[in-house]
Structures are given as C-alpha cells and as structure tokens.
Amino acid sequence: MTTFDKREQGFEAKFAHDEELMFKATARSNKLLGQWAAAQLGLSGSAAASYVTALVTDNLESQTIDGVVGRVSDDLSGKGVTREQVAQKLQECLHQVIQQVEPDK
C-alpha cells in the first residue's frame, strides 16, 4: 500500500466519522427540540415521547433543518410561537449537543 493509498484511506475514515457524528448531533438536537415543543404544546408522558420520536425518526434520510423547523413551527403556530423562535431554539439545541459530543480541547 502506497503512502497515497494510506492517506486516502485516512481521509475516507475521517469523512465517515464526521458524517456519523453529524447524524448523531442532528438526531440529538431534534430530540431536544421535540422535547421543548412537546412542553410548549402541553404534551406529557407517552404523548410527548411519541411526538419526540416522530420528529426524530420521520423521514430520517431526507429530513432537513428547514423541514424540522417548518414542522415544529406549524405545530406551534396556534401557541403564538414563530418560525424564527423555533429556528433559534434549534440552534440552541444544536449548540448544546455539539458541546456535549465535542472532545475537550
């Protein structure tokens, strides 16, 4: 195996690791957002758990940040919560998750 092959293999491994980390961070931040939204909707117990699970798992492969924000803001529109507030909350959740999974520097 040449040095170039080893380097390429290293880049591929890093890419796979980074993708896995981003997937986990996105799922965790969606879970936190779902918990917040469930509380805003007055859901508790199994109803809240079902809401959170649906938010995290529905369309897992094709789910975008905009799609998540849109879904939650639609759900919360009757509660006076704006799309911008939902987007801000998602950013806070993502920031929190990144701090949790990021190794100490």
Q: What is the pTM of this model?
A: 0.80
Residue 34 lies in a domain: yes
Q: What angle do CA 20, 38, 40 make, to 5 degrees?
A: 125
Contact 66, 84 (CB under 8 A): no
Q: Could you report the per-residue pLDDT of 32-85, keeping only the tens digit for each? A: 999 999 999 999 999 999 999 999 888 676 678 888 999 999 999 999 999 999
Distances (CA, A) of 33 to 58, 93, 102: 14, 7, 19
Residue 105 lies in a domain: no
Residue 104 lies in a domain: no
Contact 42, 3 (CB under 8 A): no
Residue 72 lies in a domain: yes
Give the domain extent around 36.
3-97
pLDDT of residue 103: 61
18/73 Cα distance (integer angstroms) = 29
Residue 103 lies in a domain: no
Q: How many domains does the chain have?
A: 1
List the one residue out of 104, 76, 91, 105 whose CA is nearest residue 32.
Answer: 91
